[in-house]
Amino acid sequence: MSTKIYIALNVTEPGPLKGKYHWALALPRPEFNYRLDKPLDLYQSVFSDETDSWVADHRVGPDALSVANIPEFMFLVQLPSINVSFDDVSKFLQLEEPTQGSTPLCQERDEWSCAQWVIRTLQSIMRNGWFTATPRGSLDDRDAYYRYICRTNGLTCEVTLSARSNNPQFVGQVVNKVRIMDRQ
């Protein structure tokens, strides 16, 4: 059995062409036939002002969210499927530490972020040999992957859409009302 996995990007700073995004991992739910316009389980690390630290803020099961209904939602980046069950992937993602720990920062970041949590988690999935194919964008190099997602996917999509173009090479495809980039 394989499980589909995506990176969900939400715009974090309103305004044209900022290129700043909140990253989360998204799993389509089996009970909705893996449809992207239905609630998706979202796994994310967010900064908590209450605790002054990074915390897990996963939205799973009955708390799953429909990304199409999130105003800041931009698109999903499709990754290769994972060759383990939905339940096993979900358990793994929920156990991933939300804080930096000993993980080196990306060169373009001066502090821990949701993007770095996603990259570290995807690198763990890759080390486990769970991907059915190699993800595009040099996942083994966190800095290159960060740039690949933010610039090659994110900013390119923003620029192209702002020019009112729908070239799928630059803005992906809309499937079940959800924009998907980098279909694999």
Specify the pLDDT at position 183. Answer: 62
Q: Could you tell me if 78 and 174 are in contact, meaning their C-beta atoms sit under 8 angstroms apart?
A: no
Strands 40-43 and 173-175: unpaired
What is the residue range of 103's domain?
6-181
Assess if residue 86 is contained within a domain.
Answer: yes
pTM: 0.91
Q: What is the pLDDT of residues 93-113, one digit of tens each?
A: 999 999 999 999 988 888 999
Assess if residue 1 is contained within a domain.
Answer: no
Specify the pLDDT at position 157. Answer: 80
Q: Could you give the CA distance from residue 183 to residue 171 in angstroms, rounded to a whole number? A: 11
Q: How many domains does the chain have?
A: 1
Specify the pLDDT at position 16. Answer: 61
Assess if residue 148 is contained within a domain.
Answer: yes
- Stretches where the chain sits below pLDDT 70 are 14-19, 183-184
Assess if residue 98 is contained within a domain.
Answer: yes
Q: Could you give the CA distance from residue 102 to residue 133 in angstroms, rounded to a whole number? A: 28
Specify the DSSP class assigned to residue 72. T
Specify the pLDDT at position 117. Answer: 98
Assess if residue 106 is contained within a domain.
Answer: yes
